[in-house]
Amino acid sequence: MLSHQEVRVLDINSEYLGMPVEVLMENAGRSVAEFIEEEYDRGNKIGIVCGTGNNGGDGFVAARYLKEKNKVWVLMARSRQSIKTELAKKNFEKIADISSPADDADLKQFDVVVDGLLGTGIHGDMEEPFKTLIGRINSSGSKIVSIDIPSGLGSDLSVKPNYTVTFHDEKDGMTKKNSGNIIIRDIGIPADAVKYVGPGEFVYYPIPGKDSHKGENGRVLIIGGGPYTGAPALAGLSAYRIGVDLVHIATPMMSYYPIASYSPNFIVHRLSGDNLSEKDLDVLRLLSRRVDAVLIGPGAGDHPETYLTVQRFVRECDKPIVIDADGIGAVSRDLSVLEGKKGVITPHAMEFKTLSGITLPDDYEGRSAPVREFAKKIGMTILLKGRIDVVSDGDRVKLNRTGNAAMSVGGTGDVLAGQVVGLISKGVDPFDAARISAFTNGFAGDLAFEELGFSLLATDVIDKIPVVLKRFLERFI
């Protein structure tokens, strides 16, 4: 089943892959018309009740096909000036001569009433004129066919159709009881729009409210450093670039000054020794209470005490957590620390073997099944890094093919981890945070490669993250 947001993901990704939404609407409307003529033959009086969104647009297309061998009326819930999208307007113009206001129509005169009022994403109390129209459709005594979903599904009042012609897959909440007989029709969504991440994934990006203030758009804690200073700094800069408000970095004494000097934007907390230590656990617990999500592992090294500290912190942490780099080595020694945790682990193939004991196949797409099975086993999302990234929460799987060979340079994994924890801190589900980050990181790397070729650095990828967000978030603002 598809949620309202996943429908939008597929539409946007289809368009990105070269399948215009115009073609999808044409195919949708035609498939509705074909079903009606298959089920009820031809020569019927058909009233198509349309709203002003793309669900209505599907109805306009269906009307164009049905009017060839049926008597068809398009009944508008609101005026033609209220039609919301250019595509729906374009299709309305082709059937304007058979349209009239729905409030003037006696729906009982029709053999078939087609419900094209409202699409997915409606919740709560139904507003007028839709409330009255849904009641009139249900009491018409006609055969009722809903387009994609019964209008009002998920609200306090919905159409009760004999059939629902839905596209690509059933939608969340649909049952035979509330949707009648469900007919699934293929409308040409490319297989790759389903398999691979794309700009459609940005439907899950939380656009900041106009009145939001510091801290409301994500607060991150990064625990790492000691032997290495660059990794936590790269992750922190990346988290900022993905749109968080505050980045705290907790790091051992030896790396405190270098990390603090990298950027005045960081809030850096000095720990006690030269490596992560169990002596620091009280401080780390206190810091974690101030943030929305935690990243642990970048640059931490593999000192035995570091591993023990990571294990204890992860076991006790009650915030969403991203585990990367040396953090993966630590938790692989004791997977029980992951029990009940919510978050993402970001291994490459060798780290995945350390975690799971599984040697992944060279076939990148063939890695989906073992990654999904292990994610299900541990109850966390896995973002497996590679030429083709694999993202799974144990149920869903998405692949990512953005990125290039120049991103083998050190630090790009830290950049990716920073984006993941940043999005989680903004309230994004871990699976969605992982798939958005995989696409964004790779696309940013591709933009950097266009300018710098094989000379790109991890910081060049960070610099391109705002470009990616600006390009793909414009439609949602």
- The per-type count for the chain, helices as H runs and strands as E runs, is 17, 16
Give the pairing type, strands 321-323 and 143-147: unpaired
Whole-angstrom distance, CA of residue 109 vs CA of residue 71: 12
Q: Which residues contact 224 (CB under 8 A, 6 or more apart)?
A: 231, 232, 235, 249, 251, 295, 296, 297, 298, 299, 300, 325, 326, 327
Give the least confident one: 52-61, 359-368, 393-402.
359-368
Half-sphere exposure (CA, 13 Å, Cβ side) for 86?
2
Band (229; pLDDT cuts 50, 70, 90) = very high
Instruction: Say whether pLDDT at 22 is over 90.
Output: yes
Distance, CA of 418 to CA of 235 (rounded, Å): 4
Kindly list the structural domains of the chain, giving each domain's residue range(s) and its CATH number in brackets, ordered by start.
4-195 (3.40.50.10260), 199-476 (3.40.1190.20)
- Distance of alpha carbon 417 from its chain centroid, rounded? 17
CA-to-CA dists, residue 138 to 113, 146, 310, 344, angstroms: 10, 11, 60, 46
User: How many Cβ atoms from other residues are within 10 Å of residue 436's Cβ?
Assistant: 26
Separation between Cα atoms, residue 456 and residue 458, nearest integer Å: 7
| pLDDT score of 161 | 98
pLDDT tops 90 at residue 135: yes
What confidence score (pLDDT) does residue 123 get? 67
pLDDT at 121: 67
pTM higher than the cut 0.85:
yes
User: Tokens 């020694």 map to which residue?
Assistant: 333
Position 124 pLDDT exceeds 80: no
pLDDT band at 477 (very low <50, low <70, confident <90, very high): confident
How does pLDDT run across 170-223, given as a tens digit for each residue?
A: 999 999 999 999 999 999 999 999 999 999 999 999 999 888 888 899 999 999
For residue 228, what are the contacts with CB-CB under 8 A and spacing of at least 6? 255, 298, 299, 300, 301
Q: Tell me the H-state helices in 67-109.
A: 86-93
Pairing of strands 163-167, 381-384: unpaired
For 8, residues 6+ apart whose C-beta sits below 8 A from its C-beta are 200, 203
Stretch 225-233: mean pLDDT? 96
Q: How does pLDDT run across 300-343, given as a tens digit for each residue? A: 999 999 999 999 999 999 999 999 999 999 999 999 999 999 99
Region 8-25: mean pLDDT is 96
Q: What is the mean pLDDT of residues 94-100?
A: 97
Question: How confident is the model at residue 364, as a pLDDT?
Answer: 86
Contact call for residues 276 and 305 (beta carbons, < 8 A): yes
pLDDT digits (tens, 9 = 90+) for 450-470: 999 999 999 999 999 999 999
Mean pLDDT of the residues in the chain? 96
What pLDDT score was predicted for residue 52? 94
What is the arithmetic mean of pLDDT over 154-180? 95
* pLDDT band per the 50, 70, 90 thresholds, residue 365: confident
